[in-house]
Structure 1
Amino acid sequence: MDNNTIEKLKDIELEILIHIDKLCKQHNLKYYLVGGTLLGAIRHKGFIPWDDDIDIGMMRDDYNKLIQILIEEKSNKYFVQNFNTDPEYPRYITKVRVNGTQFMEGHLENYNMHHGIFIDIFPLDKIKEKNEKKLDFRVNFTNKILTLRTVRNNHTEHLSKNKKILAKIIRPLTFLLPLSFYNKLIDYIYEYENDKDCKYVTNFGSQYGWRKQTFPIDVYGEGTYLEFEGHQFMAPAKWEVILKSLYGDYMKLPPEEKRNSGHDVVHIDLGKYAEN
């Protein structure tokens, strides 16, 4: 990608975040900058120079409310992508994508789904205790359900040769239950402690894994505002606890060979935003 395309891509993503920030303020919902976006806010007051996405997290109740609000907007501009709105979409987080654009990742180019430019919204789920066996079971079990969904949708490119053979055998069985059953089961496994008296919160959908993403609830708390690309956005109250867990010495720049976004981008189309 040339620098001009990258800058316009970031502008589009920032516009999505500004819209979500506005909606959250209107409806008294709380969100937090997370992951590389949080790191960028602290270390660069904006995007990490070699990064190309925006991540936010929301407590499960507010997350569900925001998704419903976004869907009810019936916007011609944005598409809310998750299991329920885009059946072949394989991840357990929500993306807000821009219609008429494309951000095509190599490992997903054969998926019949919306591929627009996006930002990620992660659900944050409360847990009573950091019981490693129970949490590992929840994550491993849901990963198997996710694999079954992917096999059902006839995507086995990522599997080994032996697992592809097994997938071909079991695929007919995956149709014995409706797709909505898989979706609701994953929701239940991750959500079921949210209405209980919990000390911790975790991000089950994070690429960093639940261990690095489990914190006392007050780490997120009421939040605090941080500068990001000239705007003020909400971040966790004790953001330094999260950054130390994820990145260690988070103010130190990584070596140049590790400065990449992590996305295997094969095509970008800015649509009408290319000239604007």
Structure 2
Amino acid sequence: MQELSAAELTVWKGIITDVLREFQDICARHQLTYYAIGGTAIGAVRHHGIIPWDDDIDVGMPRPDFERFIEICRTSDLGHYELVSNETHPDYYLPFPKFCNSNTTLVERADIPCAIGLFIDVFPLDSTSDDPAEVEALVHRYKKLQNRYEAISSRSTFSQHLMLLTQPHEWGRFLNKTLGYFFRKPMKRYLLRKMRALCLKYPYGSTKHLINYGGAYGTRELFSSHIVEGKPINMPFDSITIDLMPGYDDYLKGIYGNYMQMPPEEKRVAHHLKAFYNLNKRVDNPFV
């Protein structure tokens, strides 16, 4: 994996902040609601910008606004920006889309040949059950589907594939990757339908809880719907401003606990993968 130099990280942050600015412009023109979520929300509150050692931006949108945003991107001229999803990029391996700068290049994983631009992640926020046990079951099911989707999206050499058989806990992955080799496209469509149906089990606004199923923290991504009641809170974010949930403090405490406390020095690192990147142009086949 490649690592960003300090100078490159500064340029990187400028590019993704510009992507965020364009995303915000689309939301403003079409009266769409969004919120900074996860580490991006912490960055806004604690640092008034991207967390100094971080390299990504995450936003969440209520499901109805998310669906409208997808349709707007599908039918509009976005200039040098693009929405990357399973529909636009057959090799894409995540169930949620990214909004990208199409004049840059990033391949996150060498085993998944999907070249996109520097991006912000765009997550739908869905209503979910008010029963904690059911939420846990739904999240578990979603993560299993997502892991299968990732497994059949990744590529491996024949020897790497056979090595999975030497590890009993990897036999399920071996089976999924084998099926994916022969039936990748229909299997990906099937898994996406299953994940979408799970997310839409409860129509937006029909329960007292919301969740980001695609988030990294499982059931900790669950929060009360009252947290988004009222107008978003606008906060400084580097050279621009960004919207947070009205109840962002409860939201962040639910995921991180004391989010204002700085992590230990050894944990102040970026977590996103970078098998290849170019900050100046699009390279469609970087490993050829």
Same fold (TM over 0.5): yes
Asked if structure 2 preserves the Cα contact closer than 8 Å seen for 1:84 and 1:180, the reply is no
Report the CA distance shift for 1:259/1:68 in structure 2 as closer, same or farther (over 3 A): same
Paired residue type of 1:253: M
Asked whether the equivalents of residues 9 and 52 of structure 1 are also in contact (C-alpha less than 8 Å), the reply is: yes
Q: Does the aligned pair in 2 maintain the 1:92–1:205 contact within 8 Å?
A: yes
How far 1:192 moved relative to its partner?
A: 2.2
How far off its partner does 1:135 sit? Answer: 2.3
User: Is residue 200 from structure 1 mapped to residue 209 from structure 2 by the alignment?
Assistant: yes
Work out whether residues 85 and 98 of structure 2, in 8 Å CA contact, stay in contact via their aligned partners in 1.
yes
Letter in structure 2 aligned against 1:231 = I
Aligned residues: 269
Match of 1:116 in 2: 117
* Partner amino acid, structure 1, of 2:176: A
Query: Separation in 1 of the partners of 2:247 and 2:154?
Result: 43
**Contact kept in structure 2, 1:201 and 1:214, CA below 8 Å:** yes
* Residue aligning to 2:146: 146
1:113-166 deviations in Å (ceiling 9; x for gaps): 23321110111001240332x223323333333344345446367994342543
196-205 vs 72-81, greater mean Cα deviation = 72-81
SS of the aligned residue for 2:220 comes to coil
* Other-structure match for 1:225: 234
Residue range with higher mean Cα deviation, 120-129 or 79-88: 79-88
Distance 1:182 1:42, change over 3 A: same
Unaligned runs of 5+ in 2: 283-288
Identify which of 210, 216, 234 aligns with 2:224. 216
Q: What CA distance in whole angstroms lies between the structure 2 residues aligned with 1:251 and 1:144?
A: 32
Contact 2:13 2:55 in 1 (8 A): yes
Q: Is the 8 A contact 1:128 1:196 kept in 2?
A: no
CA distance in 1, matches of 2:223, 2:189: 31
Q: Check the 8 A contact 1:80/1:95 in 2, yes or no.
A: yes
Which whole-Å CA distance do the structure 1 matches of 2:187 and 2:207 have between them? 32
Match of 2:55 in 1: 52
User: What secondary structure is seen at the aligned counterpart in 2 of 1:212?
Assistant: helix
Give the 3 Å change call, closer, same or farther, for CA 150–230 of structure 1 in structure 2: closer
1:189-248 Cα distance to aligned partner (Å, 9 max, x none): 111202462111111111111x21211112122321111113222110011112212222
Distance 1:126 1:149 in 2: 23
Is 1:100 paired with 2:103?
A: yes
Equivalence map 1:86-97=2 (5 Å): 86-97=89-100
For 1:61 and 1:19, the matched residues in 2 are separated by: 20
The answer on whether the counterparts of 2:180 and 2:187 sit within 8 Å (CA) in structure 1 is: no
Distance 1:3 1:264 in 2: 17
| Alpha-carbon distance change, 2 to 63 in structure 1, aligned in 2, over 3 angstroms | same
Q: What does residue 184 of structure 1 align with?
A: 193
Does the 8 Å CA contact 1:208/1:246 hold for their aligned counterparts?
yes
Matched, 1:265 2:274: yes
For 2:21, the equivalent position in structure 1 comes to 18
Query: Does the CA contact (< 8 Å) of 1:84 and 1:183 recur in 2?
Result: no
Name the CA shift for 1:150/1:240 in 2 (closer, same or farther; >3 Å).
Answer: closer
Give distance in 1, aligned partners of 2:184 and 2:272. 32
Which residue number in structure 2 is paired with residue 135 of structure 1?
A: 135
Structure 1 residue runs of 5 or longer lacking an equivalent are none
Would you say the 8 A contact 1:94–1:122 is kept in 2? yes
1:249-271 CA-partner distances (Å, limit 9, x unpaired): 22221111000111232433111
Distance in structure 1 (CA, Å) of the matches to 2:103 and 2:47: 30
Of 3-12 and 189-198, deviating more is: 189-198
**What amino acid is aligned across from residue 144 of structure 2 in structure 1?**
K
